[in-house]
Structure 1
Amino acid sequence: MSRRIAMTFAALIAALLVLAVVPVGVAVDAKERESFRFDAISAARQVSASAEEYLVDHHSPDSMNKALAETAEHGDCVAVYKADDTLLSSAGCPQATDSQARALIAAVRATRADELERTAQDGGWLQAAVPISDSDKYSGTVVFARSSDELDDHIAVLWVWLGLTGLGVLALGVVLALRLARWVSRPLSGLGSAAARLGDGDLDVRAETRHGPAEVRALAATFNRMAEHTQTLVHGHRAWVADVSHQLRTPLTALRLRLDVLAGESQGETAVELAGALEEIARLSRLVDGLLAVARAEGRVPRREPVDVGAVAAERVAAWEPVARERRIELVPAGAAAGPGAAGPGAMARLGPGDLEQMLDNVLANALEAVPDGGRVLVTVARADRRVLLRVIDNGPGMDEQAKQVAFHRFANAGARGSGLGLAIVHRLVNADGGSVRLTDSAGGGLTVELDLPSES
């Protein structure tokens, strides 16, 4: 943004400089050349006046010769021609007697009374032809030539100074544009950084409100109010979840202990009924734990950190291995059956602390519940386009399309053996971490749960 603003201002200043400096330079150039032309014609008229005294008034040629000599001393050229175009006298360089000079003489003879002088550029020389006349009687022509090298050098210096001035103003404008751009964009960058940190779970972050334009400061103040409100809501939700957890688990635990005591002292049908009641209490406890897990997943703002997906997957597979062995299910960890695209060790993702463990526990619990004895559950980890793909593949009964569409809803699967909240918890956790979860059919039958996780790099 800073570069774009600076480039826009620089382009605008450059356009203004071109529109201002170039016309000034052109105008000064034209004025200097016109002044140079006027000086040359004036010098030619002075010589013409001296020549007129000799040719028309028949005075001594001393005055004319003196004027010719002074002209030559100044580095100019001058020649005096009679009425029949024969050369009377000349001084200085040959530019006053060349073919271009002869053409000017012819033009002067044919000119009107209100256009007496004629000028022409002959290479680096300006030539001026002035008639020698008295009472409109043509008596000859004076051709005067002056080098324009000094004028060209002067104009070149003028353009250089104009260019340097323009570049200086442009440089100053660029510096001011950069400062303006930084003044505007730096608070916005800080606001964007604060928003990113808030999204990553840093609820204490606040934007700077002392710098930048008034609109940006107002936006930062609004962001801070939003962050404070979000922090209050999240902390209140967490406190509520903790209170509910304490209030629900305590009576359930007490009730289960009392039923355990009664079951130990009962026999016959009473013992059977108490055993059924204990199973219901256990199921209710699992349901409460699941609801609390969903509430935590929905109310949390994770502060993400690098997580080694392969290492966590191997650790959770090892934790569930005894359960799989008890049910005679083959549980294959990540890397044991690596195929094309396998990530290998060091597949890092950015996730909230403990999120991946909780997601894997729910997915593995569902898979081990669904797979019949003697079945197989495979865990794979792979990288793909700045993402880490974690798959749990089983060869169980799988799901039909209707069941897949509602699988991430609470209690959507009426035939679920567990609480019906496992995939809902996974869905909310992975979305909070910036990932996604998909359900597909396994090759050969079964269900594949694919967790698409954001890579660290």
Structure 2
Amino acid sequence: MRSRLLGMVWFLVALLVFGLGVPLALSVAGAEQQRLFLDRLTDTTRFASLAQRPLIDGLPESLREELRAYSSLYGVDVLVVDKERVPAVGSGRAGEPATIDLNREDVSDRVQAALAGRRPEPGPLLLPWNDRPLVLAGPVLVDGEVRGAVVTVSPTDRSRTRILWWWLIIGAGGVLAFALALLLAVPVVQWILRPVRRLDEATGALVAAVVSGRDVEPVGEERGPPELRKLGRSFDRMAASVGDTLAAQRAFVADASHQLRNPLTALKLRLVNLEGHVDSEAEVHRVAAAAEADRLNRILDELLSMARAENAGGDLVPVDVDDVVAERVTDWRVVADSREIALSTTGSAGETKALVPARGLDGILDALLDNALKFTGRGSAVEVSVSVADERVRLSVRDHGPGLRADELERATDRFWRSSTHQNVPGSGLGLAIVSRIVARAEGDLRLDLPDGGGLRVTVELPAAS
């Protein structure tokens, strides 16, 4: 947008400079031509007056010295012709041919007009690159009768040089005006667009801040046009409202999950205490109710984990990846051994640490290992691999379970979503959603793919601590 605004300003300034400079340059050329024309018209008229008597008396040679002196002083050729277009006397020396060629088109036309009794005209506009001389022809009138004509041919070098200098000055002034306009346009455009840029940055950060549970940084722009400042204040109110609403929602989920655990635990104990005290027909219902209580308890635990992941605030902290991986794999190996699943670890992050929320890496590994062990059959294996590349720590967990269909990979991180082929496996569909929130809070990447040999591989990339 900045480039477009500057382009529009520059175009308008260029149009203004061009629109004013060109007429001014043409006006200067016209004024210089008019000055030269009037000066030569005066001289031509004077010579026409001087030639009256010599042409009547048949003594045109009496004008030669006058014409030679004038030509020598001003560099203008002068020629007097009679009414038959025959040269009578010129500014050249006696016996020399006339210095003006009467057969030239521009000279012939003007002599013809003068012998017809018409006054001289300025001719086309004088331009710096046009070296055509100024030709004027005035009639010699005696008692209203045309007796001949006086022709002057004036060089235009000096006038064209003056016009060129004026044009250079006008051009330099236009360039200077254009440069000044540009210097003024840049800060003005920046002043106009500063609130827009801040709004763009704030809009981009709003989603990340809301998802990660951080406070939304206000625009707080006090510079720029009043309309944009008002828009910035409206955006701050909207962002604060959205943040407060989502925070209240997360707090409600966390509080509700926590408060429900006590009555749910009591309900589960009562169902257990009923064992042996109900008849055989009701026993199956008691067992089903206890199973549903266990399922509800798992859902509440995962809701609490989700609420903690979304409300994780504060700065990211560097975490020793190898230590956390070793600790979590050791704890989950007990579960893997009970299910006859081989849980192994490959690779190492070495001295590189990952930037994650506090206890975030533990939550990621717990959710991924829980899913992997839950969907992997007995006698199979789950592999955890760690590597570092391009200042990113890459952690992946691969199982050999049924996996997902290719069209289900994008939905796997949605809350409470479960594949239609996994409905018989206990779970709530919140594991990968929790991982997704923690990774987003750390500004990392989460990818799911289907490796060769079956199963599902979940890869998490986290920024490395500098």
Would the TM-score normalized by the shorter structure come out above 0.5?
A: yes
Matches within 5 A, 1:415-430: 415-418=424-427, 421-426=430-435, 429=438
Q: Which position in structure 2 is the counterpart of 1:341? A: none
Distance 2:426 2:51 in 1: 128
Which residue in the other structure is 2:6 paired with?
A: 6
Question: In 2, are the aligned partners of 1:350 and 1:454 still within 8 Å (CA)?
Answer: yes
2:166 matched residue in structure 1 = 158
Q: CA deviation at 1:209?
A: 3.9
1:358 CA drift (Å): 2.0
From 256, 259, 266, the equivalent of 1:247 is 259
User: What CA distance in whole angstroms lies between the structure 2 residues aligned with 1:5 and 1:127?
Assistant: 52
User: Which one-letter code corresponds to 1:443 in the other structure?
Assistant: D
Query: Residues 11-47 of structure 1: CA distance to partner in whole angstroms, max 9, x if unpaired?
Result: 1221232223213322332342233223222211212
Aligned equivalent of 2:237: 225
Contact (CA 8 Å) 2:396, 2:458: kept in 1 or not? yes
> Post-superposition shift, 1:160?
1.4
Alpha-carbon distance between aligned partners in 1 of 2:43 and 2:408, rounded to the nearest angstrom: 107
Per-residue CA deviations over 1:35-69 (Å, capped at 9, x if unaligned) read 32232222112122112232226789777744652
Number of the residue aligned with 2:222: 210
Question: Could you tell which deviates more after superposition, 345-354 or 320-329?
Answer: 345-354
Once residues 52 and 345 of structure 1 are traced to their aligned partners in structure 2, the CA distance between those partners, rounded to angstroms, is 115
In 2, Cα distance between equivalents of 1:36 and 1:355: 90
Q: Which structure 2 residue ranges, 5 or more long, are not aligned?
A: 278-282
Matches of residues 19-418 of structure 1 in structure 2 within 5 Å?
19-56=19-56, 65-66=65-66, 68-82=68-82, 85-90=86-91, 97-99=99-101, 106-107=108-109, 110-111=112-113, 113-117=116-120, 123=131, 125-135=133-143, 137-201=145-209, 202-241=214-253, 243-244=255-256, 246-249=258-261, 285-297=297-309, 300=311, 314-315=325-326, 316-317=328-329, 320-325=332-337, 327-335=339-347, 354-380=359-385, 391-398=396-403, 408-410=414-416, 412=418, 413-418=422-427
- Which stretch of the first structure deviates more once superposed, 218-227 or 379-388? 379-388
Amino acid across the alignment from 2:192: V
Question: Contact 1:128–1:145 at 8 Å: present in 2 too?
Answer: yes
Identity between Structure 1 and Structure 2 (%): 29
Residues 159-185 of structure 1, C-alpha deviation per residue, up to 9 Å, x if partnerless?
112212222222232223222211111
Mapped partners of 1:405, 1:200: distance in 2? 19
- Cα deviation per residue 1:341-362 (whole Å; 9 max; x = unaligned)? xxx8799988655545423321
Instruction: Please give the per-residue CA displacement for 1:170-205, whole angstroms capped at 9, x wherever unaligned.
Output: 223222322221111111112222333433324151
What secondary structure, in the 3-state scheme, does the structure 2 residue paired with 1:450 have?
Answer: strand
Higher mean displacement: 33-42 or 352-361: 352-361
Measured at CA, do residues 118 and 442 of structure 1 come closer, stay the same or move farther in structure 2, by a change above 3 Å? closer
Determine the C-alpha separation between the residues in 1 that align with 2:198 and 2:28. Answer: 50
Displacement after TM superposition at 1:426 (Å): 3.6
Q: Distance in 2 between matches of 1:335 and 1:146?
A: 96
Question: Is the deviation greater in 41-50 or in 71-80?
Answer: 71-80
Task: Assess, with a 3 A threshold, how the Cα gap between structure 1 residues 420 and 19 changes in structure 2: closer, same or farther.
Answer: closer
Residues 247-306 of structure 1, C-alpha deviation per residue, up to 9 Å, x if partnerless? 3456677999x99xx99xxxx979xx9xx9999987665442112223445x54877859
Unaligned runs of 5+ in 1: 337-343
Does the 8 Å contact 1:96/1:144 carry over to 2?
no
| Distance change (3 Å), C-alpha of 1:100 and 1:59 | closer
Q: Distance in 2 between matches of 1:101 and 1:366?
A: 107
Q: Which deviates further from its counterpart, 426-435 or 14-23?
A: 426-435
SS in 2 for 1:129: strand
The structural deviation recorded for 1:115 is 2.5
AA matched with 1:369: K
Please say if residues 44 and 151 of structure 2, whose CA atoms lie closer than 8 Å, have aligned partners that are also in contact: yes
How far residue 99 of structure 1 moved from its aligned partner, in angstroms, is 2.5
Q: Shift of the alpha carbon at 1:109?
A: 5.3
* Alpha-carbon offset, residue 224 of structure 1: 0.9
- Aligned residue number for residue 280 of structure 2: none
Alpha-carbon distance, 1:153 to partner? 1.2
CA distance in 2, matches of 1:368, 1:97: 114
Q: Secondary structure of the equivalent of 1:200?
A: helix
- For residues 223-260 of structure 1, the C-alpha deviation after alignment (integer angstroms, 9 at most, x for no partner) is 1112221332344345445544553456677999x99x
For 2:460 and 2:117, the matched residues in 1 are separated by 93
**Distance in 2 (alpha carbons) for counterparts of 1:403 and 1:89:** 105
Amino acid at match of 2:6: A
* Aligned 8 A contact 1:124 1:149 in 2: no
The 1:155/1:406 distance shift into structure 2, 3 A limit, reads: closer
Hey, what's the Cα distance between the residues in 2 that align with 1:20 and 1:329? 86
Q: Quick check: 99-108 or 412-421, which moved more?
A: 99-108
Total equivalences in the alignment:
436
Letter of the aligned partner of 1:88 in structure 2? V
Shift in alpha-carbon separation, 1:228–1:96, aligned structure 2, 3 A = farther
**Pair 417,64 (structure 1): closer, same or farther in 2 beyond 3 Å:** same
Residue range with higher mean Cα deviation, 161-170 or 428-437? 428-437
Assess, with a 3 A threshold, how the Cα gap between structure 1 residues 350 and 75 changes in structure 2: closer, same or farther.
farther
**Equivalent residues of 2:117, 2:139 under 8 A apart:** no
> Post-superposition shift, 1:142?
2.5
